[in-house]
Structure formats: C-alpha cells, structure tokens
Structure 1
Amino acid sequence: MTPPAVVLVGPPGAGKSTIGALLAKRLGTGYRDTDADIEKTAGKPIPEIFIDEGEPHFRELERAAVRDAVAEHPGVLSLGGGAVMDPGTRELLAGLPVVFLDVQLADAVHRVGLDVPRPLLAVNPRKRWRELMEARRPLYTEVARAVVDTGGRTPQQVADAVLDALGLTATAPDTTDPQ
C-alpha cells in the first residue's frame, strides 16, 4: 500500500485538522484523522473513553488507529497530540513525510481555547499544556522530516509551508478565502 502523502503531528491547537483538510484538498487526496477513527471505533468521544476506560485503554486504541491509518491511507493523515509518546508509533513514522506543526501556547489558546473537552488538559490547562509540550516536543522533532511554525500564519500559509517543506506541489488551486 502507498504510505501517507503527509502526516501531521503536534499539540492541541496546532491546527492539524484544519491544515490536514486543506492539504488534502490542495493535493487532491483524502484526509484522515486518527482521533476521529478512535471515536468511530469506540462509539463515543475521546473524553468519554478517558473517563470510562482510562488513558491506557485510549492509548491502545490510538496505537491501533495509527497503525491502521499508516498502512491503509495514502492521503493526508493527522495524528492525535499524544500519539508520538508510543515508541511503536514513532517507529511506524520513520521515513514517512511527517511534519511537526509547532505552535506556541498563546496561539493554541486563541485557536481552540483550552476550555474545550481535552482530558489531559482538564486541570490548569495552560500549565498542563506547557508540561505536555516539554515532554512531547523532542518526540515531535524526532519523528518529523520538517517543522513548520504556525505562529502568525493563516491556514493557507501554513499549508504552503508544509508543501514547501516536503517539496510537494498542489494539484488543486487554493480556492479558500484568506482568514
């Protein structure tokens, strides 16, 4: 099977879903989000999985979702923010066109707010986000072929930077309105 054209990693608020969908459209391919795959498999939202079955069960579902998506999806793929914590997932990503969408806390707060239901950010979300980034940043960097800073950029500009970083050419014009 053909590997994914682009794999996006990064923390909550980096824009993985927005940029992933935009890249897929511009590359004329499909888009897949492993968090959506997990919710479909479990039949419930991720926060409920954390509450009902706990984080270890969620991480098992996440490992399986990433493994399946990498094997089956030739388009643009977004991984959940914590997927890179698993050594097996990092091995699966070796050699793939992975892009770390880097974002600073202020931009993440502005984009998604940190009051939305994110299980690992439930208590003192700003402090917890910083702690997660401290632990995850080296892993995002380890798996990434390229790092794209999203700060101060529109989704279209970030998508352009991802395409440039990977040496890809859009097959469909960008018909979205600038934000």
Structure 2
Amino acid sequence: MTSPRVVLIGPPGSGKSTVGRLLAGLLGTGFRDTDADVEAAAGKAVADIFVEDGEERFRELEADAVRGALAGHGGVLALGGGAVLDPRTQELLAGHPVAYLRVGLADAVARVGLGSARPLLVLNPRSRLKALMEERRPVYERLATLTVETGGRTPDEVAAEIAKGLPA
C-alpha cells in the first residue's frame, strides 16, 4: 500500500494547493488535491456540488476521495479545508506525516478573495472564514505532526520548511 510523503491541512487560503505543488517538485514526487478528486468523481465543481447536491453529499464524496488518496498516493496530498472534520478521516490520518499550514485571517482573506466561489464563504465571507478558522484550528493542531506558519512568507519558503521537517 502506498502512503503519502506528507498530507497538507489548513483552512481555505492557507496555500495547500500552491505549496503542495512546490513541495512535490522539491521532493521529486506527485501532487494530489482531494478537491480535484471530488470534482472529477462528481463531474462538476465543488461550488456546484454544494448548490446542487448539498454539503452533506460533498462531505461524502470528500471522505471517499481522502480515503482513496491516503491508501494510494505516494506523493504530496492536499486535503480540502473541512476534510479533517470527519472523524473517520481523523483516524485515517494517524501515522501519516501531516503538515498544518497556519494562516492569519488577513492573509487568508487576501488569498481567498471575498468574491470567491468558495461555497461556505458566500454570506459575509470575512466573518464566515474567521468562524471556520477558529472552529477548525484545534482539529488542525491536534492532527499536525508539523505546523508551519505561512504569514509573511512565500510559498517557496513554506514548501522548503515542510521539506526540511519531514522524516527521511
């Protein structure tokens, strides 16, 4: 069974996809994003899944995508921001190197953009993002084997710190 070199977790705007691609390049391995896996499985964008099928259906697809990726991807794996809320996903992450990309609200808002197509941030996006970050922070911190601050740093700097912090 193949296992990821590292799993990236963090809120929307923390840089999981951007840093993940850079990190995969540094490690000479592949990159996989479970949101992209969900979109491929559903045949539509995450935002459309939320609108047409509901958050519950999205979370089911997401849990399946995470389970498959953890069992079959040997590179860098980025999870959607809310994937870690599923208790089964939390159990599956045990024993994997997990890097939490910690980001401040101002940086997250700047990266996500307040007019973005992120379904959980539609109404009052700044306030909603703040609430999501506060609600999920303890889960991210508990699951992380490595925490990396992203504020005021380039994605290359963040990727390099993660690479240095990984087990050989």
TM-score by length of 2: 0.97
Deviation at 1:113, TM superposition (A): 1.1
How many equivalent pairs are there? 168
Deviation at 1:71, TM superposition (A): 0.3
* Unpaired segments ≥5 residues, structure 1: 169-179
- Cα separation, 1, equivalents of 2:70 and 2:147: 20
* Unpaired segments ≥5 residues, structure 2: none
- Cα separation, 1, equivalents of 2:156 and 2:140: 22
Deviation at 1:112, TM superposition (A): 2.7
- Cα separation, 2, equivalents of 1:114 and 1:20: 23
2:94 aligns with: 94
2:63 aligns with: 63
Q: Which secondary structure state, in structure 1, belongs to the residue aligned with residue 115 of structure 2?
A: coil
1:36 aligns with: 36
Given that 2:19 and 2:158 are in contact with CA atoms closer than 8 Å, whether structure 1 keeps it comes out as yes
Runs (4+) of structure 1 exceeding 3 A deviation are none
Q: Which secondary structure state, in structure 2, belongs to the residue aligned with residue 58 of structure 1?
A: helix
| Deviations 1:25-81, CA, capped at 9 Å, x for gaps | 111100000000000000000111001110000000000000000000000000000
Identity rate, percent: 61
TM-score by length of 1: 0.91
Deviation at 1:109, TM superposition (A): 1.8
Structure 1 residue 48 corresponds to structure 2 residue 48:
yes
1:104 aligns with: 104
Given that 2:26 and 2:163 are in contact with CA atoms closer than 8 Å, whether structure 1 keeps it comes out as no
Q: Which amino acid aligns with 1:65?
A: A
